[in-house]
Amino acid sequence: MLVRMENAERDGADEDSTCEAGRLAALPSRLLARAAAISGRIVGDGLAAAGSHRYQYAVLATLAEFGPASQADLARRTGLDRSDMVPTIATLEAAGLVARAVDATDRRRNIVSLTGPGTARLAELDALVDRLQAEATAPLDADEATRLVALLGRLVRHHGGRWR
Amino acid sequence: MLVRMENAERDGADEDSTCEAGRLAALPSRLLARAAAISGRIVGDGLAAAGSHRYQYAVLATLAEFGPASQADLARRTGLDRSDMVPTIATLEAAGLVARAVDATDRRRNIVSLTGPGTARLAELDALVDRLQAEATAPLDADEATRLVALLGRLVRHHGGRWR
DNA sequence: CTAATTTCAGTTTAACTGATATCA
DNA sequence: CTGATATCAGTTTAACTGAAATTA
């Protein structure tokens, strides 16, 4: 399989000695790693500047979409580790953005739910994240970004749909 | 900008409670992170099983393409950190795959060059890496993988062409 | 003097592991 | 009993930082 880029589709930036170049730069795994690092930094910094964190955003967005859930369910739905869930929920609860209550029907579980302030906060963060995603996928237009998402989605789903 | 996936282009895998789902799963930054994690694990494990490492492969491939170079030049061309270069080169030298010699015209520099065994080893690793890239980009066909690489290449080049 | 190179020692951070207590 | 949950403490690893010694 040959998936290297040769010289097609350059974006204007010439190679220089302070920038990696060559066959290596066209390997899918390396491009994925760099694109992930770039987008991760943009989204992480943007959320941090707004006083949040991608773990928090993942929890809030998942609660809004699926409704109240135990921490274990949230971990599965967000892809976060169960142990990283604990301080994330604690921070959100301290900020009044979620409520945590022992499940009366299964007292092992905490039922986590969005509060009113949490819903409002999520609306702000949704708008912010939309801008950050657009920044992260620049210079692709909306159509190209959609194609990228479709390709990545198929790749990720093919490889088991889970992290480990 | 709306770059979410809705329900189009599913790959056969239905959502279940042990797999993250929802809007979140269609965010470019998250898909990039997961695709990078998947391909990084495939390539890293594959190289490890062959007794190598992606840092070593990056150095060998860059030496083959650009010829002998100082460690600082190799760091710039590969995108590796100058400090991670040191043990990488040391390991390659100990295995006889590269030679390291003080540059007579600038005694701060080590000139690193491929040895015969290094060239042979690179040929093996090139074949291995090609297989691993194909595995990492499955289930995309060659054409789709090329499109993915083109999109990622434009994204990465737009964001400065460097890691930091 | 400043600036580049190699090297080392240590930091940071996300992601993860293992163990414990609790409960179904 | 097994198995799920919430929690905590600690590990791992890549990526990075800062500084020393050397040389241009």
Contacts 24+ apart (CB under 8 A), A104-109: A109/A70, A109/A71, A109/A72
Cβ atoms of B30 and B24 closer than 8 Å: yes
Strand D bases with any atom < 7 A from protein Cβ:
3-10, 14-19, 22-24
Distance (Å) of CA A49 to CA A46, A78, B70: 5, 22, 39
Of the pLDDT bands very low, low, confident and very high (cuts 50, 70, 90), residue B38 is very high
Of the pLDDT bands very low, low, confident and very high (cuts 50, 70, 90), residue A160 is confident
Match 């301080």 to its residue by tokens.
A87
Nearest Cβ partner for A34 among B42, B133, B163? B163
Q: Nucleotide D23: nearest residue by CA–C1'?
A: B108
- State both tokens at B162: 């460097």
- State both tokens at A112: 């986590």
Nearest CA in chain A to B60: A24
SS3 sequence, chain B?
A: CCCCCCCCCCCCCCCCCCCCCCHHHHCHHHHHHHHHHHHHHHHHHHHHHCCCCHHHHHHHHHHHHHCCEEHHHHHHHHCCCHHHHHHHHHHHHHCCCEEEEECCCCCCCEEEEECHHHHHHHHHHHHHHHHHHHHHHCCCCHHHHHHHHHHHHHHHHHCCCCCC
d(CA A120, CA A118): 5
The pLDDT tens digits for B86-143 are: 999 999 999 999 999 999 999 999 999 999 999 999 999 999 999 999 999 999 999 9
Contact flag, residue B39 CB and nucleic strand C, below 7 A: no
Which chain B residues have a beta carbon less than 8 Å from that of A140? 151, 154-155
Read off the amino acid at residue B47: L
Res B161: pLDDT: 53
Which are the contacts of A110, defined by CB distance < 8 A and separation ≥ 6?
Answer: A70, A71, A89, A100, A101, A102, A103
A4 and B142 in contact by Cβ < 8 A? no
Which chain A residues have a beta carbon less than 8 Å from that of B131? 1
Cβ atoms of A56 and A88 closer than 8 Å: yes
The sheet that has B69-70: what strands, in order across it? B69-70, B110-114, B98-102
Contact flag, residue A73 CB and nucleic strand D, below 7 A: yes
Mean pLDDT of B58-84: 97
Mean pLDDT of A80-95: 97
The pLDDT tens digits for A110-150 are: 999 999 999 999 999 999 999 999 999 999 999 999 999 99
Contact flag, residue B72 CB and nucleic strand C, below 7 A: yes
Query: Which segments within chain A are labelled E, that is strand?
Result: 69-70, 98-102, 110-114
Asked if the model's pLDDT at residue A6 lies above 80, the reply is no
Q: How far is the CA of B104 from the C1' of C13 (A)?
A: 41
Nearest Cβ partner for A144 among B73, B151, B153? B151
Residues of A 49-68 whose CB lies less than 7 Å from any atom of strand C:
53
Res A2: pLDDT: 38
| Torsion angles phi and psi, residue A163, rounded to 5 | -75, -40
Of the pLDDT bands very low, low, confident and very high (cuts 50, 70, 90), residue B19 is low
Residue B3 forms beta bridges with which residues?
none
- State both tokens at A4: 């290297």
Of the pLDDT bands very low, low, confident and very high (cuts 50, 70, 90), residue B5 is very low
Match 């959609």 to its residue by tokens.
A146
Contact flag, residue B68 CB and nucleic strand D, below 7 A: no
Asked if the model's pLDDT at residue A84 lies above 60, the reply is yes
